[in-house]
Amino acid sequence: MNLKEIQKMLEAELVCGAEWLGREVACACGADLMSDVLAFTKERTLLLTGMTNIQVIRTAEMSDCVGIVFVRGKKPGQDVIELAIENKLPLFVTNFPMYEACGVLYEKGLCGCARAVLRHGG
C-alpha cells in the first residue's frame, strides 16, 4: 500500500510532500504518545496522530516514518510544515477521528507495527 492510496482511503488533504506519494508503507501506528512511537514503531511506519507540535516531526524523523496523518482535521502550523519538508516527510490531514482513521486502514489490510514484525519474522 502506498501513500497515495492511503490519502484516498482517508479522504485526506495533502499538506506537503507530493513528490513522496509513491512511497510504500509497511505498517501503521496510531499514537499521541511520542514515547510510544519511539519505542514501538518499525522502519517505514505511517504515523497517525492527534498531536501537531514540532516534536511529532522530530519523532517521525528519528523513527524513519514514511509520513504523518493528522486526525480529526487538525492542521499543523507553518514551522511544523517547514521542518517536515526539510526532512522529506509528507503530511496529511483527515477529518476522520483516530479510531475511524486507523479502522479504515486496518480494514484495507494495513497492519500494525507488532504484526509487521511477526509477519516479517524480524
Is residue 58 near other proteins by the rule CB under 8 A?
yes
Distance CA 102, CA 30 (A): 7
Closest approach of other proteins to the CB of residue 85, in Å: 14
Closest approach of other proteins to the CB of residue 81, in Å: 15
Is residue 89 near other proteins by the rule CB under 8 A?
no
* Residue from 11, 18, 24, 36 in contact with other proteins (CB under 8 A): 36
Residue ranges of alpha helices (H) inside the chain are 3-9, 34-40, 54-62, 78-86, 98-107, 113-120
Give residues in contact with other proteins (CB under 8 A).
32-36, 38-39, 43, 49, 51, 53-56, 58-59, 61-64, 87
